[in-house]
Amino acid sequence: MTWPDVVPHLKAAHLGFLALWTAGLFALPQMLARHDRGLLKSEFTQIRRATHYSYVWIVTPAAVLAIASGTALIFVREVFTVWLFAKLVLVAGLVAVHAWIGHTIIAVAETEGRHEPPNALVPGLILIALVLAILLVVLAKPELMELPVPGWLQSPRDRSLPFDVPSR
């Protein structure tokens, strides 16, 4: 099997893991919204375990595998364009939402009813915006202008570094 033969399998894996990751990111805030102060301790424990195990054993591995398969696709296809870097910034937004949801799960679990999870609409709207932006960038592959970088960063200066470089 050559590298071009691997691309469809990597794309399928990437899309599958990405679908599982984003579905989990949409579902977890809905599950967190079920943490009501009026719940019995056994009901609270059941919902807490479901959110915790979903995050740890399903959503986080799907995120890691989606990012790993996407990274492999970048190198196999040798796609190093500006639109890809825009996509990576948006994926970093997904990672930030993932971390925020994980933090909320821990805060709700450790405070047993004293921490109020955010309305499920807030992370949902953020996720919709991120997913739609990622789809737009990936499917349209817009011709983005080169990143604005100062001229002094684009050409060598033929000077030594301002600090001592250790020898090997």
**Cβ distance 123 to 103 under 8 Å?**
no
Radius of gyration of the chain (CA): 21
Nearest in space to 105 (alpha carbons), one of 2, 7, 25:
25
Query: If you average pLDDT over residues 37-65, what whole number do you get?
Result: 86
pLDDT at position 25 over 90: yes
Higher pLDDT among residues 90 and 31, named by residue:
90
Asked if residue 36 lies in contact with residue 52, where contact means CB atoms within 8 angstroms, the answer is no
Return mean pLDDT, the chain.
86
Provide the pLDDT for residue 113: 61
The span from the CA of 80 to the CA of 159, in Å, is 29
pLDDT at 43: 76
The C-alpha torsion from 70 through 131 and 58 to 114, rounded to 10°, is 140
Chain center to CA of 120: 18
How large a percentage of the chain has pLDDT more than 90? Answer: 46
Q: What is the mean pLDDT of residues 44-71?
A: 92
- Can you say how many angstroms the Cα of residue 56 is from the centroid of all Cα atoms in its chain? 15
Closest residue by Cα to residue 87 from 17, 28, 26, 142 = 142
End-to-end CA separation in angstroms for the chain: 40
Return the minimum-mean-pLDDT range out of 60-74, 79-93, 153-167: 153-167
pTM of the predicted model over 0.85: no
- Confidence band, pLDDT 50/70/90 cuts, at residue 1: low
